[in-house]
Amino acid sequence: MCGFVGFTNNIGNAQEVVEAMMDSIRHRGPDAGGSYVDADIALGHRRLSIIDVSEQGNQPLYSADGNLVLCFNGEIYNYQEIRAELIAKGYTFATNTDSEVLIYGYREYGTALLERLRGMFAFVIWDKETKTLFGARDFFGIKPLYYAQMNGTLLFGSEIKAFLKHPAFDKQLNTAALEEYLTFQYSAMEETFFKGVFRLQPAHYFIYKDGQMDIHRYWDVHFQPDEKPSLDDWVQKISEVFHDSVRAHKIADVEVGSFLSSGVDSSYVAAIADVDKTFTVGFGQDEKYNEIGWAKGFSKAIGKQNFSKVIAPEEYWGELRHIQYQMDEPLADPAAIALYFVCQLAARQVKVVLSGEGADEIFGGYNVYSEPNATAYDRLPRAVRRSIGGIAQRLPAKRGVNFFVRKGKDLEERFIGNAYMFTPEQRKSLLKIRTDAPDPQAVTAHYYKRVADADEVTKMQYLDLHMWMAGDILLKADKMSMAHSLELRVPFLDKEVMQVAEHIPARYRVTRKAVTDKNTPYVTKYAMRLAARQDTPQGTEGTAAKKKLGFPVPIRVWLREDAYYTIVKNRFTSETAQQFFHTEQLVKLLDDHKNGRADNSRKIWTVFMFLVWYGVYFEGEPVTFGI
């Protein structure tokens, strides 16, 4: 795992600038650094040595003739197969790294190389002869790649913070991203919070030549249910492909560990990965927020050593500025901070960890996926439900009323992903500034259009795969692990696993048939849970049926405590907050929450995280001294 930076060269001190950019992402690769600078381009790379840990694997990496220059972040799990193909075609390799197959694979196959890869990656290849830059990002967006065209310069790299070191970079807040963030809780647009800085989308590549940037999609998910195999057949297919994926994801020349919570995803990974060490964090003693007991019991059952940590509230709050700095853009998912601490814990023992991200999106694991056709009310004519929903929408919001409001809307109107913080009306009322941010439905519309003929469960999964997973789940996985120079691998997010998952009928992803709890009228990730149950040791089968918790964090509890209420209120009434928000509305959200009149914790956290992030990036607040 590594990080890279670069820019088209039109400055006199390119070597000095590229080294400053490299230093800003040193956490991504503390083992080695290297650069390449010529009259046209500057490239910098930081290396975390995982495969071929010798100096031969240092980057930038060059073709034998010196014409192609590579900077690469990630792992190619089938590199040995591709390497053998290329050797058979006459190519000679100078290293044992997976990186080198990208150079000669690109020379042999061009952009079609991407279709052959299995792994997580972001990389650029500079062709000195044609003066062409080729860049690509992996299928799911596990590894980040940003770019900006400013003042006659193309900037690109693994983290936005590196761009700030370049004299051509013009740092401005993208206010449209702020307004959109207030709804989604993450940066949901291609253009980031920094105006003019874009993220290359997952499964896309670019070709930059003569000042022109051409971007293309090279892969997509295609849900095409296959009704022929039985449920047992699907369970076996999942088991086989996931075992294969885990084997591939364990390829390393260093020790590999595994994250572990009480849920099925991480437990399934840990059970079949045969790693020696598992890692868990929690809060306090309440099982609602602390999964350490479950994790220790499961680790003992599979014969592994568990390392755990109880995160104190003051530790959690004390790292917020540093975490938002590492994230590059504000993220309001409280689990990001928990992930930061479990990465910190693991990095003391290993260089690589396996984790369970992606299982929910590809196998149908979120509870909201059970919503379509969940009640007899759903079978009423659409016109009737819309009429009742329209009436309900004019009533004060509360649980029963909200049910009729939601059921009166089409899926495309009500579902924008796993988080829905502020409605468009609420965010416009809250903001003092006016932006050109699109309506949330406009952001999600083109994804829904691609799966217009699919069932509602599939539509939700497709949307989450492209937005929620890339914008929240994988963003925090990459940034929090790299903050501790730790490589995080996600075996569920494997091209071969997806190829199986996209053919599973919806009824085997989310089913109405209860198998474990008579009080639960549905089971999410149904087929995958059955595969996990058969593949985990005797006595641990109950883990496969556990309700999803994620990284539970007691934010709503802390915000009712005087100390943390005061910290947030100070931010909400600051001069910075007054630039962007009607602060009296922020304080009301906070007071109503503290006094138990409403659970506003997620909305409060969304605004608070933006203000913490803005303080670091735009007001020069120190990164490492608490909040």
- Which residues carry out catalysis? 2
- How far is it, in rounded angstroms, from Cα 421 to Cα 364? 22
- How far is it, in rounded angstroms, from Cα 454 to Cα 133? 38
- How far is it, in rounded angstroms, from Cα 41 to Cα 133? 9
For residue 161, the 8-state DSSP code is G
**Residue 37, number of CB atoms within 10 A of its CB:** 18
Residues pairing with 70 in the sheet: 61, 125
**Residue 545, number of CB atoms within 10 A of its CB:** 17
Contact 323, 337 (CB under 8 A): yes
Tokens representing residue 585 in the block: 């509305």
What DSSP element (H or E) covers 460? helix 456-466
Side chain identity, residue 495 = K
CA 469, 512, 295, 533 torsion-angle sign: negative
Task: Give the up-direction half-sphere exposure of residue 574: CA atoms within 13 A in the CB hemisphere.
Answer: 17
* 470 burial level (CB within 10 Å; 0-12, 13-18, 19+): buried
Tokens representing residue 179 in the block: 């307004």
Q: Annotate 111-145 with DSSP letters as a single string.
A: GGHHHH--EEEEEEEEETTTTEEEEEE-SS--S--
Contact 218, 106 (CB under 8 A): no
Residues 6+ apart with CB under 8 A from 514: 520, 521, 522, 523
CA neighbor of 175 nearest in space, from 381, 482, 423, 434: 434
Burial 209-231 (b: 16+ CB within 10 A, else e): eeeebeeeebbebebeeeeeeeb
What DSSP element (H or E) covers 61? strand 61-62
CA neighbor of 15 nearest in space, from 34, 1, 29: 34
Tokens representing residue 447 in the block: 């994804």
CA neighbor of 125 nearest in space, from 26, 36, 53: 36
- How far is it, in rounded angstroms, from Cα 428 to Cα 592? 20
Assign residue 510 a region: left if phi > 0, alpha if psi is -120 to 50, beta otherwise?
beta
Q: Where are the beta strands (DSSP E) in 298-377?
A: 305-310, 352-354
- How far is it, in rounded angstroms, from Cα 430 to Cα 228? 52
